[in-house]
Homo-oligomer: A and B are copies of this chain.
Amino acid sequence: MKILGIDPGSHITGYGVIEKKKDQWIPLTYGCLRTNSNSPLSNRLLEIYQGLSSIIAESKPNVLSIENVFFSKNANSALKLGHSRGVLILAAIQAGLSLYEYTPLQIKQAVTSYGQASKEQVQAMIMKLLRLKEKPPLDASDALAVALCHAHTNTNLQGMRASA
């Protein structure tokens, strides 16, 4: 199974695809999709959609794991994030991926065992878990964390089913 993790943003979207080889999850590709904040909204959405569609076509993941965000304030930021999130999910579902959503707490606990971990702590743990030699950009390490969160949760669910 290959898992695509995404950390969506209105201007920078982190992505990472991981695959299990024997007992070890390895990163196939990761990075950031960046759009020009001066470009019109429609162009930016098309760029994000086409960018993710290309990544999916190349790395062929089975699952999209994405952060389930909750906002308590700043509704205009939420609307902008919603635009990006909408076209990212669309690109994945059109390519036949299944969608899983996890809260920030679940993601941080899954990779650091600590729900309040900083982005830098997540990055350090991702480097260790995926045996990366170089620091990934913070948005990419967040995306890899979402992918690993699904990998661990899914493994646990299979373990639970097997032992039921």
Contacts and interface: CB of A to CB of B under 8 A. Distances in A.
Given A80-B82, A82-B83, A41 B75 contact: no
Interface in A90-105: 90, 92-94, 99, 101
Interface residues of A, number: 33
Counting from the closest, the 9 A-B pairs by CB-CB distance are: A82-B82, A86-B86, A71-B75, A83-B86, A75-B78, A78-B78, A78-B79, A75-B75, A42-B93
Interface of A: 40-43, 45-46, 49, 69-87, 89-90, 92-94, 99, 101
5 contacts: A41-B101, A42-B93, A45-B93, A46-B94, A79-B79
Contacts of A83: 82-83, 85-86, 89
